[in-house]
Amino acid sequence: MNPELESTSMLARTFDDFSGRENQIEVLKLATHVLERNDGFKAAIRDVLTILEKRCNLIGGRINFIDGVVDIGKEIRLKGESPIDPAIEDTVSVATKSVLSTWRQKMVPVTVSKVKQQGLFKVDREAQLYALCLPIKLGELKMGTLSFVKVCYGPFDPKAEMNFLSVLALMFAQCAMINRFYPDQQLEPEKANEQAMPRDFERSPIIGNSKSMGRVFGLLEQVAATDTSVLILGESGVGKELIADALHKNSPRREKPFIKVNCAALPETLLESELFGHEKGAFTGAQAQKKGRFELANGGTIFLDEIGDISLTTQIKLLRVLQEREFERLGGESTIKCDVRVITATNQNLEVMIDKGDFRQDLYYRLNVFPISIPPLRERKTDIIPITDYFVEKYRKVHNKTIRRISTPAIDMLSSYHWPGNVRELENCIERAVLLSNEGVIRGHHLPPSLQTAENTSKNAGSNLQSTLDSMEKELILDALKETKGNMAKAARELGLTERVMGLRAKKYKIDPRKFKKQNS
């Protein structure tokens, strides 16, 4: 049994001990870890269904994927452990079919229907049963359905339950998409173990639950398998290279080379020699013939990053390759034919550059056949935590550290920061925090000063030692109160404070211990 499921079984509750929101958050965290595993998408989904059965009283879980949208077989379901009455199976099937069929006309988000208990069903007869079914989709892309029977002993809040399940449905959708884009990541279990970190993460999956990333995935889906030129737009660090890589890996060219050139890194002559190659003696220092990147990419894909930085002369040469699919090496006379898909990226506004005469319009039209814009991280805040979790897991393994959780204040700081360096900045920030953290927790003070300032700007113009110490103290008090369920005396003892000092500190930071009692009851 894998460790996630082992820990789940240890914590497994009986049906009448299901404890609401806290439990749901824990389940979501467990599900994230399970889905990030590298040993097969279907197995991971089945494990998540098992977790939902054991911890959320959601039995008979099944996922139906629509044929052709996600190539991973039609249905994934929990087998074996749950004895399910055929009548209940039927209700789930009917609910699933109804969601699937109404898609053709209109999107019906959920079906919740009460199920009658039958004699065969091995659940306490006092339980109320509900059939739940909701769609799995990414943006406008409809992928399938997620269905369960919910076993309930008390009042049932369908809205809250569906909100929780819709987060899971989104995670499944995301995973299905990654699975589609990186099918070869489904390693055999033994091979997965052999692959030590960080090689597992060489080709990172694209994480993102936001609507805007859903749209990006939809566009990827449409264009990946074609030979169309794609222009990827977005600020530095948003993941443009990751998208280019995904386009190549999901095209018929995937077995052929994927060649990346950073056009901003080289001066004009060197860039041309890099792109088209040169003959011996073409210029001082050209001591031997050299093949260019277009030649090396033949049959595959070339990714020209920072395309807005190439000179007007190089733009003409590039235009010719795009139109004629041929070029000459520098100093050479023979024409070389090439069959290359061109993907470009920039963080500049090429239309403004055209107006200024810095970029050729004809080249722009050739490159911009299929534009994909990746929004900055600050405009898709819902992606921050899933991406953070992914990087925590990545760097926890790379640096061999134990990280059990991220403190609530640290999560707040990560969520409220504006991330000018986008995902790259977030990645660096999390690697640093993983290295600095101790006791298995990432806390606010493990994050870089830029984030501390962001949190404090409203109260305190500058970041100074006192404000940093204050925020650390507040965080420790919040943590202790959380752990002791709002018991001030116990929390004071844990922190080595007297009750009186604890009371004063709570007052100073406007902390109300009663809030923690409520949360945990």
Ligand X SMILES: Nc1ncnc2c1ncn2[C@@H]1O[C@H](COP(=O)(O)OP(=O)(O)OP(=O)(O)O)[C@@H](O)[C@H]1O
- Of 429 and 477, which CB lies nearer to ligand X in the complex structure? 429
- Of 241 and 279, which CB lies nearer to ligand X in the complex structure? 241
Q: Report CA torsion sign: 211, 217, 223, 228.
A: positive
Give the count of beta carbons closer than 10 Å to the beta carbon of residue 137. 22
Minimum distance, C-beta of residue 272 to ligand X, in the bound complex (Å): 21
Q: Which residue is nearest to ligand X (CB)?
A: 239
- Of 27 and 238, which CB lies nearer to ligand X in the complex structure? 238
Q: Which has the closest alpha carbon to 144: 220, 60, 75?
A: 75
Residue pointed to by tokens 């199920």 = 115
Minimum distance, C-beta of residue 346 to ligand X, in the bound complex (Å): 8
- Of 377 and 491, which CB lies nearer to ligand X in the complex structure? 377
For residues 237 and 421, the answer to whether their CB atoms sit within 8 Å is: yes
Minimum distance, C-beta of residue 204 to ligand X, in the bound complex (Å): 4
Please state whether beta strands 141-152 and 230-233 pair in parallel, antiparallel, or not at all (unpaired).
unpaired
- Of 69 and 423, which CB lies nearer to ligand X in the complex structure? 423
Minimum distance, C-beta of residue 423 to ligand X, in the bound complex (Å): 3
Minimum distance, C-beta of residue 251 to ligand X, in the bound complex (Å): 18
Q: Which has the closest alpha carbon to 114: 98, 92, 145, 84?
A: 92
CA separation for the pair 420, 454 (Å, rounded): 12
CA separation for the pair 461, 483 (Å, rounded): 32
> Cis peptide before 198, with omega less than 30 degrees from 0?
yes
Give start and end residues of each alpha helix (H) in 200-311. 211-223, 240-249, 268-276, 293-296
CA separation for the pair 53, 438 (Å, rounded): 33
Site residues, ligand X (CB under 6 A): 204, 206-208, 234, 236-242, 305, 347, 387, 390, 423-424, 427
How would you classify residue 121: left for phi > 0, otherwise alpha for psi between -120 and 50, otherwise beta? Answer: beta
- Of 362 and 379, which CB lies nearer to ligand X in the complex structure? 379
Q: CA geometry: angle at 376 spanning 375 and 380, to 5°? A: 75
- Of 231 and 492, which CB lies nearer to ligand X in the complex structure? 231
- Of 101 and 236, which CB lies nearer to ligand X in the complex structure? 236
Minimum distance, C-beta of residue 206 to ligand X, in the bound complex (Å): 5
What are the two backbone dihedrals, phi and then psi, of residue 125, each rounded to the nearest 5 degrees?
-65, -15
- Of 207 and 302, which CB lies nearer to ligand X in the complex structure? 207
- Of 54 and 180, which CB lies nearer to ligand X in the complex structure? 180
Minimum distance, C-beta of residue 205 to ligand X, in the bound complex (Å): 7
At position 320, the amino acid (one-letter code) is R
Query: How many helices and strands in the chain, by DSSP H and E?
Result: 21, 16
Sheet arrangement for strand 341-346: 258-262, 301-305, 341-346, 230-233, 370-373
Cα dist. 301→79, 142, 258, 311, 317 in Å? 42, 29, 5, 22, 18
Q: CA geometry: angle at 31 spanning 30 and 33, to 5°? A: 65
For residues 168 and 146, the answer to whether their CB atoms sit within 8 Å is: yes
- Of 144 and 237, which CB lies nearer to ligand X in the complex structure? 237
CA separation for the pair 104, 126 (Å, rounded): 38
- Of 295 and 427, which CB lies nearer to ligand X in the complex structure? 427
DSSP string, 455-505: HHTTT-SS--HHHHHHHHHHHHHHHHHHHTTT-HHHHHHHHT--HHHHHHH
Minimum distance, C-beta of residue 246 to ligand X, in the bound complex (Å): 10
Minimum distance, C-beta of residue 506 to ligand X, in the bound complex (Å): 39
- Name, in order, each residue with C-beta under 8 angstroms of 468's C-beta and a sequence gap of 6 or more: 445, 452
Minimum distance, C-beta of residue 409 to ligand X, in the bound complex (Å): 24
Minimum distance, C-beta of residue 222 to ligand X, in the bound complex (Å): 19
- Of 121 and 390, which CB lies nearer to ligand X in the complex structure? 390
Minimum distance, C-beta of residue 201 to ligand X, in the bound complex (Å): 8
- Structure-block tokens of residue 417: 């920061």
Minimum distance, C-beta of residue 419 to ligand X, in the bound complex (Å): 11
